[in-house]
Amino acid sequence: GESVGLHLPTLSVQEGDNSIINCAYSNSASDYFIWYKQESGKGPQFIIDIRSNMDKRQGQRVTVLLNKTVKHLSLQIAATQPGDSAVYFCAEKAAGNKLTFGGGTRVLVKP
Amino acid sequence: DAGVIQSPRHEVTEMGQEVTLRCKPISGHNSLFWYRQTMMRGLELLIYFNNNVPIDDSGMPEDRFSAKMPNASFSTLKIQPSEPRDSAVYFCASSLFGNEQFFGPGTRLTVL
């Protein structure tokens, strides 16, 4: 089936700097996208979502950008903190309730 | 709200034994999902239910895996017989009307 970014790259960022996590998706029919954060030993935790009729959505310290032309999704974290260290997953949804998850990006925050 | 509840949190069993994982979704949610997470394959959807009815089980690896949802507040994922390659973290998630899914803490399964 369709897949979303199967690699697990690592992003090292200095505390206080901004982080940008990228995700490429492959299903042009996807109309809903979610970013999840997973800390060690825990389940994925919802961060922010965006629908395909939008190209930007902001939350608390986080911004998601959607570029449907190139099928690209990004998560920006402002003023990255040690508690932001985790694996971040993007997920896409086309028809039905099924989410397809990417392979994840590990974020390491250096003090 | 207690969130999605899964039990047990850890399970160690021997090859050939039956394993049953349990999930209680968030009250009022109408969709329930079972996922498996491994280092090699990432997070994979096994099966999901809408209103207690299985909708898509295309991710279930083989006939050794089965899932049931007898009511809106309970679901099980059963592996019989279990094999070492089934070792993984199994997550249950629930959602309301196809919006964001809320995940449980997972069950770490080790099959020796």
Read off the pLDDT of residues B33-87 as tens digits, 9 standing for 90 and up.
999 999 888 899 999 999 999 999 999 988 999 999 999 999 999 999 999 999 9
- Which residue in B48, B105, B106 is closest to A97 by CB distance? B48
The one-letter amino acid code at A28 reads S
A106: closest CA of chain B, how far (Å): 13
- Contact criterion met (CB < 8 Å) for B56 and A98: yes
Residue among B36, B29, B43, B40 nearest B62 (CA): B36
Percent of chain A whose pLDDT exceeds 90: 80
pLDDT higher than threshold 70 for residue B1:
no
- Which residue in B4, B43, B93 is closest to A89 by CB distance? B43
> How high is the pLDDT of residue A103?
84
Residue to test with chain B: of A36, A99, A100, most B Cβ within 10 A: A99
Tokens of B15: 């090859």
> How high is the pLDDT of residue A6?
44
- SS3 assignment, position B84: helix
pLDDT higher than threshold 80 for residue A95:
no
Between chain A and chain B, the number of residue pairs with CB atoms below 8 A apart is 50
Q: Could you tell me if B99 lies within 8 Å of chain A, comparing CB atoms? A: yes
Q: Could you tell me if B65 lies within 8 Å of chain A, comparing CB atoms? A: no
Please report which residue ranges of B5-95 form alpha helices under DSSP H: none
Residue B32: closest C-alpha in chain A: A97
> How high is the pLDDT of residue B95?
94
> How high is the pLDDT of residue A2?
37
pLDDT higher than threshold 50 for residue A1:
no
CA atoms within 13 A on the CB side of B103: 24
> How high is the pLDDT of residue A7?
55
